[in-house]
Amino acid sequence: MAHFITFLLVLSLSLTFSLLPETASAQLRQNYYAKTCPNAESIVRNAVTKKFRQTFVTVPATIRLFFHDCFVQGCDASVIIQSTGSNKAEKDHPDNLSLAGDGFDTVIKAKQAVDAVPSCRNKVSCADILAMATRDVIALSGGPSYAVELGRLDGLRSTAASVNGKLPHPDFNLNQLNSMFAAHGLTQTDMIALSAAHTVGFSHCSKFSNRIYNFSRQSAVDPTLNRAYATQLQQMCPKNVDPRIAINMDPNTPRAFDNVYYKNLQQGKGLFTSDQVLFTDRRSKPVVDAWAANSNTFNSAFITAITKLGRVGVKTGRNGNIRRNCDAFN
């Protein structure tokens, strides 16, 4: 009788849980498309490689697109949606206007390549293609390769208003960074690892000009900034610089996804306040020092962090679908 009661209790619990909304990463798994589109990952990798050969910008643009997607409404490709007369979409929020077009183009081209295979048409989500493309550009630029979890659906809404206060800013301190990442189940260690995406890519001068011209009453230049580097930045970004000018975020190996990002921080060469604070704040400094010294420990921490990022706010069941075109709702 006791066994039967236990069985009923387990049954009622499992029924209760099955009626609850699915947890974010409930159905994510590796090789998700093994039966429906077995070559999905190689098709995406080939399309991404082709785009990468056309322009290196493919790398930072795709990584940043993934991050901006996941931090707003979860990893659901909502950032790719175009605005319409009746809806201002995420991509047109001021915080997203600097997302490079090459990131969007990478996903759209990969989606076209997948859908060109008749058996794969409308089987692979744009959200998953963005996750795969992110993994691929990291590997193409010398970063770690990893198995990517798949099974996301594409989101059904995208509004500029939903972006407000959801993305980290270049002037954030450690507390602000930690609380924003913690809201998505990401630890301080995850945040420090994901910040290394700044080892590739570029920034417009306006994002850091306060650090080289008007930092405080006491000092025009941020004292945590390497003096020679500050002078170099002033030369590349004079006061009335063309707003379209962009400079490399990693002054040493701008086209390699590597742990030099952390070595730069040790030398006061973090471009943003939110980069350099990882070294100047004693709570995060030990991790920066450890990863500057050991690329293997950094690589494994990065894989953990980007896998966790890919589980944020995943859409399943009736909360999503597979878009026919990544930039428009069905």
Torsion 318-118-84-126 (CA) sign: positive
Task: Round to whole Å and give the CA distance between 167 and 150.
Answer: 24
The residue count for the chain: 330
250 labelled binding-site residue: yes
Closest C-alpha to 273, from 143, 177, 146: 177
Only one residue has tokens 């878009």, namely: 323
User: Residue 124 has what DSSP assignment?
Assistant: S
First-last CA distance in the chain: 53
179 labelled binding-site residue: no
118 labelled binding-site residue: no
Position 292: which residue type?
Answer: A
72 labelled binding-site residue: yes
Is-contact 101 61, C-beta < 8 A? yes
48 labelled binding-site residue: no
76 labelled binding-site residue: yes
168 labelled binding-site residue: yes
198 labelled binding-site residue: yes
User: Known catalytic residues?
Assistant: 68
Position 323: which residue type?
Answer: R
User: Residue 249 has what DSSP assignment?
Assistant: S
Residues 6 or more apart whose Cβ sits within 8 Å of residue 86: none
DSSP H/E element including 290: helix 285-293
CA 221 to chain centre: 30
CA 175 to chain centre: 20
Task: Round to whole Å and give the CA distance between 187 and 169.
Answer: 18
Only one residue has tokens 């706010």, namely: 313
105 labelled binding-site residue: no
Residues 6 or more apart whose Cβ sits within 8 Å of residue 221: 211, 212, 213, 215, 227, 230
The CA dihedral of 107, 153, 305, 177, to the nearest 10 degrees, is: 90
Is-contact 281 219, C-beta < 8 A? no
- Binding positions for Ca(2+) are 69, 72, 74, 76, 78, 90, 199, 250, 253, 258
- Binding positions for substrate are 168
- Binding positions are 69, 72, 74, 76, 78, 90, 168, 198-199, 250, 253, 258
